[in-house]
A and B are shown apart, each in its own frame.
Chain A
Amino acid sequence: MMKAINKIRSSKALVMIVWVLGILVIWEIFAFVVVATKRTPENVLPHIWQIIGSFFDPKPVANGMSCTQIVLVNAGQTLSRAGQGFLIGTIVGFLLAILMKLSRIVEKIAAPYLMLIQLIPILGMAPIILAMTHDIGSSRIIIAAILTFYPVATNTLAGLNSVEKAKYELLYSYAAKKTTIYFKMLIPSCIPYFFTGLKIAAPMAITASILVDTLQGDGGLGCMLSQSLKHAMSIYVFWDIVVFSAVIGVLSCSLMGWIENLISPLKRVERKAKKKEAS
């Protein structure tokens, strides 16, 4: 009995359920207040069941498509661009981190730009990129790449710099070459940090891509979002996109965690240890 209770208490899933329930309850409390006080409550905060219902409502809301169809069709556009940008940003970020580690000069030059990119608001940068490329698709990719690249580069660099002195001295004593030091020591030890960067970057790339959509009327989740807000189509398209992007954002982050678990022996060991503890 005691064991069962402990198991429940240490269960990650349970914590998650309580946490989600908490959000739902607070949402509903406000939804009821809004229904009682506002003239068009669905524009402010609809009930959760209304949003869920709209996902399953086959009634066309625009261009002969239902809410769900609109979300999915446009999500394809936005997410594929976000994915491409994420991939490019990851590669560039990782390589830059290695270059910064290799050369103090590169680090000195790149560090202020990295800071700068982080400081410029994405909403300010997006129109400039769009004006330069004249293409919403490539703008999405570029913005997603820029946003990805920063957390990946800084986290990877932190990982490269976290290697303790004794490990260097060990390889030094074996007269290891520089390439050996990188491939056998520095790169493997920065992998957990690299994945921390990916976990931060993945939802950001998606958010960025949606934001860039809103700049032009060529489709994409952000575009539908703003049209729905302007009442060009059912407001539930807006709510469905909000819920959908939130779920995709969380999933993108857990996908990175899943990949990390798959490739990292360290994680496998940790998992085994946890399982042992639990049983």
Chain B
Amino acid sequence: MSETNAYNPKKNIEIAINNVSVVFKDNKGNDVKALDNVDFDIHKGEFISLLGPSGCGKTTLLRTIADLLEPTSGNVRVSGMTPKEIRLMQKFGIVFQSPVLFEWRTVKKNIELPLEIMGYSKKDSSDRADEMLEIVGLTKFANHYPQQLSGGMQQRVGIARAFGIRPEILLMDEPFSALDEFTKEKLHLDLLRIWEKTNKTIVFVTHNIQEAVFLSNRICVLSPPPGRLSAVVDVDLPYPRTTDMRDTPHFGELVSKVRNSFEGGSL
């Protein structure tokens, strides 16, 4: 744990997770620990992955950052403020595991939704949506409805919608886990491209080690049960990352390093 706290103190801290524990009640009224005293910092502009198997508490941790869940003890601070304050300032973008699109809105109108909520003028939201459509390569599908799109395209709309508001912090909860490998690899590149362009902080939840290594600056490895932070692994692959990197020995080394950092040894 000491390794975590000592990590890179010079960098600008964006999200501070301070001794966060979350305890749920199960059906019988017993306490179930979902997060146990998790403590680390996320830096500004960083792509960080929260990695772990099902039930390790990685989504729970993301939800405490997003103000979707109160920690039972400890706290989260984003730029020195509470997650709620940041949420009310509309600085979060969220991408869920499912695209969560509004079926009665066209692709473009879906991307405009948060902009409308934030009070952008019709013209501004339209322009911004066009720009985002261009970036995710869906300009031709602007006037399609979500159900006319493939799963991968739908998820791209979700990403465009989240980036469209130019959030300070992007929270992604297993956004690619329902997609096939080919689509996933393409979206990885798309996501990195957008991230490098915008330089926002991304917190990315995943259970896929290769995915975490390919995308992130750093990986927070969480172990069950209960959700404890077992390691923070640096990924020193240079950006921009390319698909070829997946086949390099160094990529393999990083993958095994992450795998070995799970508590109780290899999976």
Contacts and interface: CB of A to CB of B under 8 A. Distances in A.
Contacts of A273: 148
A175 interface: yes
Contacts of B53: none
B153 to A, nearest CB: 15
Contact of A174 (B98, B102, B104, B117): B117
Interface in A176-228: 176, 180, 184-185, 188-189, 191
Interface string A255-271: 00000000011100100
Interface string A137-172: 000000000000000000000000000101101111
A174 B165 CA distance: 10
A233 B35 CA distance: 82
A184 B117 contact: yes
Contact of A173 (B66, B98, B106, B147): B66
A166 to B, nearest CB: 5
A174 B96 contact: no
B135 interface: no
Contacts, number: 59
B118 interface: yes
A180 B114 CA distance: 11
How extensive is the interface on chain A, given as a class?
20 to 34
B102 A188 contact: yes
Contacts of A172: 68, 87
Contact of B90 (A174, A185, A189, A265): A174
Contacts of A185: 102
Interface string B116-152: 1110000000000000000000000000010110000
A269 B90 contact: no
Contacts of B113: 184
B104 A188 contact: yes
Contacts of A264: 104
A265 B108 CA distance: 14
B196 interface: no
A186 to B, nearest CB: 11
A266 B68 CA distance: 31
Nearest to A175: B88
A265 B88 contact: no
9 contacts: A170-B96, A171-B117, A172-B87, A173-B66, A173-B68, A174-B118, A175-B90, A188-B102, A264-B104
Interface of B: 66-68, 87-90, 92-94, 96, 98, 100, 102-104, 106, 113-114, 116-118, 145, 147-148, 165, 171
